[in-house]
Structure 1
């Protein structure tokens, strides 16, 4: 992937504030760190407008971004910095960039620009790489972040907001699942759903992080292929939201995008109650997360008062079919959730 990165000021010395970073021909000032995980760091940055980059009052990024609605009104964006230590990690980042460029949907986080640079001075005199991925910024955080705050305040989303948030996730996944060929996100979970609250509007939900996204359909025809899939899933699919067939894959199986439907069902439950429907097993003596998932042993905690309608619980149960062959597809889910929205939204 021919990515360039010019005029770099080392991010290491400016992780907190003040430093500048260039992504291709555009310059950004680092304001603060937003988060980190694994080998990745996320920073809030502000585009630096120079006379040479100004275009009708817009920044240089305006020249590059096809969909102008993705441009920030205040020039603020998020930059994800990935430390790359070997060829395998480099290929994973390149694949994330390639896959992200396939999607164009308001409920999928767009990749605005990217660069991969070679960094000399690695141990042994070899060179490593760093990747910089530029995204729109959403400072309200993720569903996971919001769940922690709401739990502390003993607050819950209304039935209407639960359904509206879920409907947006369905719309984003439909875009991925109906591409030709279809793609599966493979890590749908509250931590990968950005939520933006605007007064007087339903919460905006955007699915992000396509680092685990792959072609959805795989033919498993041997025990070794099944074990390879399970090993891959253990590294790329968060355990509490991972579909049963990725925990215990048969030696002859057709895996498809309905692995995402399972994760979507778990995420719907988490919008309501703040956690996956199976995490209770981690707190039980002798409990097994894997067994709870494979057997679809759902437990319903105490919810808001008045509680969520039984129809919503039944909807979650319908999504969490342990047999993938009878699990619904995204089109059927959207039809059903639209009916629930009509019924339970004022």
Structure 2
């Protein structure tokens, strides 16, 4: 049912929701759209304000458009919903509600109601520092990276960072569709909640900050089971399609960009992304984007060969640069694990704090 200024169950064209005074209803709860936070093709993320008396405040609504005849799009959205429900960690955003809405001509719209973080993302922090022309102090870089590693560990080692029960709700249509769909597509976290998983698309824009500055992983759209092996052409095609839709080339590990039959998806791909994120916090750009800008080396080629460099300035310690180098080893086995990487950042942070005390800073 359509009302003036209100589009129930997403009947308004997806692309125009942010342009005017529009309301979205998810499982009977109304939200006022107040802004567009992200546009990634068929996936839009809106800032909304709840119009329910018992649920005031701002939230995010992720709207995934699934064209008619593309069942894999619905399957991917369902897998993402299941992933949010599986990880009950303070370092991973909470799914508060979800609904699958039928649209005209057989297409569907999947809504996910998520937490809103007014402090923004790591990417917004990086952009602000670039505009101000001020580098992020090394202790702040280290403190952020320790906490980001802690968040990634909650995915690589689920259950270690908290086990609170989830509060998400789903519509009856969502449950029925989940039961009917083939969910082999990369296996959801709910199928084996204590096993290790991999984010695959870890990037600054997908790491939000609380008012206290704690990093929170906000996007599980590309999250897959660790050890997922591309044993056949179907699995290989699905993984490639997933990364084409959700992957961020500047932060993707080289092995994810050249998938081959029988490839195995391992946590080391997230370690590579962490190295890129650390570099971006230091210099405002990913290492391989900078290489492309400086020397014209195509990003894909620079990434595959591990070609990057550091600016010639003494802002950051050689120890921090070495940690970044270890993360960006082209050979996955040469990268540290999430536990060892977190220890490297923490040890350097502790050393810098001791040094500051000695110098009276």
Q: Normalising by structure 1, report the TM-score.
A: 0.80
CA separation of 1:279 and 1:32: change in aligned 2, threshold 3 A? closer
In structure 2, the residue matched to 1:205 is 215
Checking the alignment, whether the CA contact within 8 Å between 1:278 and 1:292 is kept in structure 2 is yes
In structure 2, the residue matched to 1:158 is 137
Q: CA deviation at 1:164?
A: 1.5
Q: 5+ unaligned residues in a row in structure 1: which ranges?
A: 1-5, 60-73, 121-125
CA separation of 1:9 and 1:80: change in aligned 2, threshold 3 A? closer
**Whole-angstrom CA distance in 1 between matches of 2:42 and 2:346:** 39
String of CA shifts for 1:219-268, please: whole Å, max 9, x gaps: 35689977875665444422121212223456665431111111111111
Checking the alignment, whether the CA contact within 8 Å between 2:143 and 2:346 is kept in structure 1 is no
Alignment of 1:1-346 (within 5 A): 8=9, 10-12=11-13, 15-50=18-53, 54=54, 59=55, 75-85=57-67, 86-120=70-104, 126-179=105-158, 180-196=194-210, 198=211, 201=212, 203-219=213-229, 233-249=243-259, 253-283=263-293, 287-302=297-312, 307-345=315-353
Checking the alignment, whether the CA contact within 8 Å between 1:188 and 1:260 is kept in structure 2 is yes
**Whole-angstrom CA distance in 2 between matches of 1:117 and 1:10:** 9
Q: CA deviation at 1:204?
A: 2.4
Checking the alignment, whether the CA contact within 8 Å between 1:17 and 1:32 is kept in structure 2 is no
CA separation of 1:316 and 1:284: change in aligned 2, threshold 3 A? closer
CA separation of 1:240 and 1:33: change in aligned 2, threshold 3 A? closer
SS in 1 for 2:215: strand
SS in 2 for 1:88: helix
**Whole-angstrom CA distance in 1 between matches of 2:236 and 2:106:** 36
CA separation of 1:319 and 1:45: change in aligned 2, threshold 3 A? same
In structure 2, the residue matched to 1:66 is none
CA separation of 1:111 and 1:286: change in aligned 2, threshold 3 A? same
Q: CA deviation at 1:11?
A: 4.5
Q: Normalising by structure 2, report the TM-score.
A: 0.77
String of CA shifts for 1:108-133, please: whole Å, max 9, x gaps: 1211111111112xxxxx32111111
CA separation of 1:195 and 1:91: change in aligned 2, threshold 3 A? same
**Whole-angstrom CA distance in 2 between matches of 1:254 and 1:19:** 44
Number of equivalenced pairs: 309
**Whole-angstrom CA distance in 1 between matches of 2:148 and 2:337:** 14
Checking the alignment, whether the CA contact within 8 Å between 1:9 and 1:19 is kept in structure 2 is no
Q: CA deviation at 1:15?
A: 3.1
Q: CA deviation at 1:316?
A: 0.6
String of CA shifts for 1:254-308, please: whole Å, max 9, x gaps: 43111111111111111111111111333356513233222222211256xx601
Q: CA deviation at 1:330?
A: 0.7
SS in 2 for 1:240: coil
CA separation of 1:285 and 1:100: change in aligned 2, threshold 3 A? same
**Whole-angstrom CA distance in 1 between matches of 2:59 and 2:234:** 43
In structure 1, the residue matched to 2:183 is none
Higher relative contact order, chain-length normalized (CA < 8 Å, sep 6+)? 2
Structure 1 vs Structure 2 CA RMSD = 2.8
Checking the alignment, whether the CA contact within 8 Å between 2:48 and 2:60 is kept in structure 1 is yes
Q: CA deviation at 1:181?
A: 2.1
Q: 5+ unaligned residues in a row in structure 2: which ranges?
A: 1-6, 159-193, 357-361
